[in-house]
Structure 1
Amino acid sequence: MTTPELHWPAAAATAIRLAPPGPRVGDDQAKRAITDLQRFARDAQGLVRETARIDAPTDTAPVIVADRTMWVRANVESLSALVPGRAEQTTTGMLAGAQIGGVLAWLSTKVLGQFDVFVPSSAAPDGRLLLVAPNIVQAETQLGVDPKDFRLWVCLHEETHRVQFTAFPWLREHLREQARVVAGLTDMAAPGWQELARIVTGRGVRNLTLLDLLPDTVDVKSTLERVTAVMSLLEGHADVVMDRVGPRVIRSVGQIRSRFETRRDGRPGLDRIVRRLLGMDVKLAQYRDGAKFCRHVIAAVGIEGLNRAFESAETLPLLAEIHDPARWLKRMEA
């Protein structure tokens, strides 16, 4: 089931209205951040391709240094192409749009970078890389790390995603299709969403995530497992490549990794609650589980052996294999 009543302009308007502008910086500081991110994104291309041993085209997917409003608009453009709504305004559609807009406003303050594979092909056929400058500047300040080192570190991770999707174009379509299936399992007017609203607004927050509100069927479970497995591979691979490159080009990489991991785990109060409700704890597990899988496979068969995972949908690891890499290695030998 999709959300035919969803009014995407309401989502965009709500998100833009609610999203804070970001840290206050001077014009010179803002220009330096933009210049650094553009340069480091270019520099990261060769470093990632060499380390990952993946031959990817260069400059086929644009790099966009964005503020929070630009990030919101880009994601509404992409998500509305994935899950079309209705042009006319209805009460249900406006409410659904406002709900999604609130989520996007919150996410717009958290996301450092994103490779957007859902962008309409007419806008960017190979996807686009978004680097959210206000969030990167805010994070490096909060962490107390060297700004240039941190900006390059972020670019290495996000550039790995660009390499993944441009070197293996089938992967973009595969992920789009999986996302469409997941979107088809949700309904903003469904009882689960209404229950979530009641829990948050009137009854206190239980140990619940949005995943718990999806129908409990075999199809839903298998779909979510496929999506979780591929996202674990992509995020874990990006973390591993970033860490393999880092010591060669980033003087303070050890400090950055340590403080960033502490930041991932240390969200207090309401922020932690919202992250759990949105399934962000699952996202963090994907980084760690995927990285463990990649390190195990690299230790066994080298990074070229790991790259077999990107050859086709059939060679992608299953979720059980992410947690038990030996099973994937055995399947690849067969």
Structure 2
Amino acid sequence: MEEETPTYPSFAPWDITPTTFTQLLSLYPATLKESYKRKLVAVAARKHRKHPERLNREDPVFDRQTSEYVKLDEWRYSTLPRVLREREEGKKDIKEKKKDAMHLKQEESYDSLFMHKEELVQLMEWKLKHGRYRPALAGMIKTNKPDVVRKTTCEAFKAFLDRPPIRETLDETFPKKSQDILMKPLRAVGTATASLILAVATEGKKNEIPFYSDDMYWWLCLDLFPGSEKNRYNYKKATKRTRDDGRLDVKYNMEEYRELYEEVFKLRDRLNNDDSNRQFSCADVERVAYVLRNFDVSGFPNAAEILLQYQVTVDEARKEFEQNKRGKKKSRDDDESEEEFILGVEPSESKKRKAGFGETGRGKKKKKI
């Protein structure tokens, strides 16, 4: 009697249940710690390539740096959205009033929400540590003038349309205008960073804006996730959008972000209209995507078995994709020969060297005597 293949929860955006989503979300703190520490160890290992025996993987410095990053992550997901929300509502504590007095010029005032430069710099620090580190951006973001940051973010938040998105009006609620306002004057702010600025400022609003993260794009736009059975259908698209080393190969442009915005909307629309009465935010989707991207250290039940099964489907998809490519090429050659026969033309000569080429002596260089 054949052993039945075990079934696991679906992580597909079109199929994941609120229960599975909540379970993955609960694993985010542990996943963040393990994945970030692994990243630190990997960076240190590259520095010790010539003498790997000198690397101490249990060095307390890794734990200390991980703890610092966890605090930064909490600031990004909890503290900063709360500070911006209170600033917009006019609720300023003593610390906030001191910050305004220290940073705002005498004639400078705002009747709407804005962001300070130090907040933008710290947000960029989180972004670079959370994903792929680009040292140039860390330096460029600091060159923005404080008053330009405040003025630009204020204009972008004003242009934001806070209306519940529906399928028919996604083009209207998509924050293209706010994105453009942020990207033009601010250095180091592209589509992804602009989306992050809007994400922290719109959390809890009717029209929450998602952050354009690699993890989200992998999961929602390329349908790549542990246990995916759809790989054999989207393998061609996925290979075009990924590098040989596994990194995402995209342009981070408005078109891609528009695609992600719609996919996040569809997922939240389905989950939040379920009978569970649980409302999931864009930040929740972002964190679940991060867990799925770092699934091997997530602590999810049977994670190793799920990843093994996933790799099998990926390998099958790769073979099928390569076979289809070869089949199409052969079919194209056959079609050309058949067309020549129908038209009554002489078959085109092959570009390959004919037999006896060596005997004719053509193409051979004569030895100098």
Q: Same fold (TM over 0.5)?
A: no
**Larger relative helix fraction:** 1
TM-score, normalised with respect to structure 2 = 0.26
Structure with the greater alpha carbon radius of gyration? 2
